[in-house]
Amino acid sequence: MKFSELGLSDRLLSAISSSGFEEATPIQAETIPMVLKGQDVIGQAQTGTGKTAAFGLPILQKIDFDNPNVQALIISPTRELAIQTQEEIYRLGKDEKARVQVVYGGADIRRQINALKDHPQIIVGTPGRLLDHIRRHTLKLEHIKTLVLDEADEMLDMGFLDDIESIIKQTPEERQTLLFSATMPAQIKRVGVQFMKDPQQVKIKAKELTTDLIDQYYVRLKEYEKFDTMTRFFDVQDPEVILVFCRTKRRVDEVSKGLEARGYKAAGLHGDLTQARRSQIMQEFKRGKIDILVATDVAARGIDISGVTHVYNYDIPQDPDSYVHRVGRTGRAGKHGVSITFATPNEMDYLREIEKLTKVRMLPLKPPTEQEAFVGQLNSAESDIADLIQKTNTDKYQKMADKLLDEYEATDLVAALLNDVTRDNVKVKITPERPLSRHHGGHGHNSHRGGGHWGGSRNNHRNNDRNSGRNRSRNGGGNRDRDRNHGGSKNSSKRSSGGSKRRFTIKNS
């Protein structure tokens, strides 16, 4: 359904068009008309289905911009999600000159107090910091018209339910309440019954979350084969923006450091990082300085990233819902995406359970060989060196270049440069993780299905977390057939040049 059919204003439709959105997602198509009518809504949908615009657009349409009071409050479970929600609503309401402010813990509260004095009409915040401002009387909610509880089940898991109820009691009874949650446990339903008036329910089915825009594959392999297999896929598929999901924080650290050692522009994201470091990583990822983000399910829940072309499940998720959340990070805004799941032999039953939920059969993939990956590395290196030559003042190095050419063969010099750029000799060892226990009642193994070779695109849990660019283009195979066969996105280099050859071993400390 087109946004123009949902009753939105011309200014908002213009902002939607400028943001690159074309058609409304299922949650937007069903929710926006209800919210515009003033109805309370309970929406059950995963992150990545367009929930922010589903509540943000009608909020912007209903705001009285001549009224300086806070008229809409959005409660988010994490700082990252709160920040991104504020950014998206600000972007959509830029033409309307909407004043949107975010407040969250871990940041200077005095700056937030000063920002609140500028009379924002929409507030996005985390429960603890919102209560801080309410108790300091720096945030008044008596003029709230719309209240949004985003990722309600996540806030329940994090122990925020009492805080949320305290905040709700500070708002007027005559308000509109919108609740969004991936799951609907009994305590979340109780919030709906206690604080909402005749709420309309919208539920997005799993089959709408794993759409035809995402090519889904699996690779059956041994635990120790995962890292080298994944990097070979990087070299052959040539993905543009990558998300790698791991089961534990230790695994995130080891995989991200191993990728850096191989020359990839990667970083890890998990709950033990400081807020400053998390923010720095996300900014670098969004600007293309980092191409590969390695994360746990918990860390990724609070972030919303556009432009992800490939999702790699380094560890198979423990439950099907987490899989839906992971792969939903790609294949957005009408663009194709690729997901590849690595599964050890005794984890195959989990993979079958995922297929039952999503109603999508993952296709088996044959991993690239070492030689095929090496060809991909050389293609990338060729492009990197071409860019390097263009940016280098060669006159400055003329004398030394002539001297080296007198002492060595030109072929040997270039080969040495290629060897250094590709870092093909760096060895990485990842500490083995215990595989998931065999899932009883599964469907057994089925390897007789057809599949692509190397994850070709048709067109171009989180509980263990507590326990444990777009760059220069490559010249390799720049035609459509190559993209189809190799799952490439937009020929971009994932490696950074330089660095000495060394053995890189990561051990569990």
Predicted confidence (pLDDT) per residue in 452-498, tens digit: 444 544 333 333 443 433 333 333 333 333 333 444 444 444 555 44
* Residue 3: pLDDT over 60: yes
Confidence of residue 505 (pLDDT cuts 50, 70, 90): very low
Residue scoring higher pLDDT (484 or 506)? 506
3-state secondary structure of 252: helix
User: Is there a domain that residue 422 lies in?
Assistant: no
Q: How far apart are CA 9 and CA 36, in angstroms?
A: 11
**Domain stop point among 146, 171, 204:** 204
19-39 confidence digits (pLDDT tens): 767 688 889 999 999 999 999
Confidence of residue 442 (pLDDT cuts 50, 70, 90): very low
Least confident of 67-81, 111-125, 376-390, 453-467: 453-467
Q: How far apart are CA 89 and CA 78, in angstroms?
A: 17
140 and 225 share a domain? no
| Same domain, yes or no: 227 and 179 | no
Phi, psi of 220 (to 5 degrees): -90, 120
Name which of 43-52, 120-129, 265-274, 343-352 the model is least confident about. Answer: 43-52
| pLDDT of the residue at 451 | 45
Q: Are residues 190 and 308 in the same domain?
A: no
Which residue reads 């109805």 in tokens?
Answer: 39
Band of the pLDDT at 504, cuts 50, 70, 90? very low
Is 184 contained in some domain? yes
Is 384 a domain residue? Answer: no
192-210 as b/e, with b when 16 or more CB fall inside 10 Å? beebbeebeebebebeebb
pLDDT in tens, 35-80: 999 999 999 876 667 889 999 999 999 999 999 999 999 999 988 8
Asked whether residue 392 is assigned to any structural domain, the reply reads no
Strongest mean pLDDT among 119-133, 144-158, 257-271: 119-133
**Euclidean distance between CA atoms 192 and 138, whole angstroms:** 28
Q: Last residue of a domain, which of 170, 204, 238?
A: 204
Question: 217 and 186 in one domain?
Answer: no
> Which CATH number does the domain housing residue 362 bear?
3.40.50.300
Same domain as 195, residue 256:
no
Is 387 inside a domain boundary?
no
| Pure H helices in 246-359 | 249-261, 275-286, 297-301, 320-327, 348-358
Examine the domain organization and report whether 360 and 492 are in the same domain. yes
> Residue 66 has which token pair?
């001549």
| Residues 387/242, Cβ–Cβ less than 8 Å | no
Q: What is the mean pLDDT of the chain?
A: 80
Q: Do 109 and 96 fall into the same domain?
A: yes
Identity of the highest mean pLDDT range in 12-21, 115-124, 245-254: 115-124
Of 150, 152, 106, 146, nearest to 129 by C-alpha is 106
Element (H, E) at 287: none
Question: Which range marks the domain in which residue 137 is found?
Answer: 3-204
204, 226, 250 - which closes a domain: 204
Pick the closest to residue 3 from 47, 56, 46 (CA basis). 56
pLDDT for residue 130: 97
In a domain, 295, yes or no: yes
Please name the residues in contact with 265: beta carbons below 8 A apart, sequence gap of 6 or more.
289, 290, 291, 292, 469, 471, 494, 495, 496
Q: Quick one: DSSP state of residue 37?
A: T
| Confidence at residue 500, expressed as pLDDT on a 0 to 100 scale | 38
Is residue 194 one of the residues assigned to a domain?
Answer: yes
DSSP 375-414: HHHHHHHHHHHHHHHHHS-GGGGHHHHHHHHHHS-HHHHH
User: Are 213 and 166 within one domain?
Assistant: no
Q: How many distinct structural domains can be found in the chain?
A: 2
What pLDDT score was predicted for residue 478?
35
Residues 238 and 183 in one domain: no
Least confident of 249-263, 284-298, 456-470: 456-470
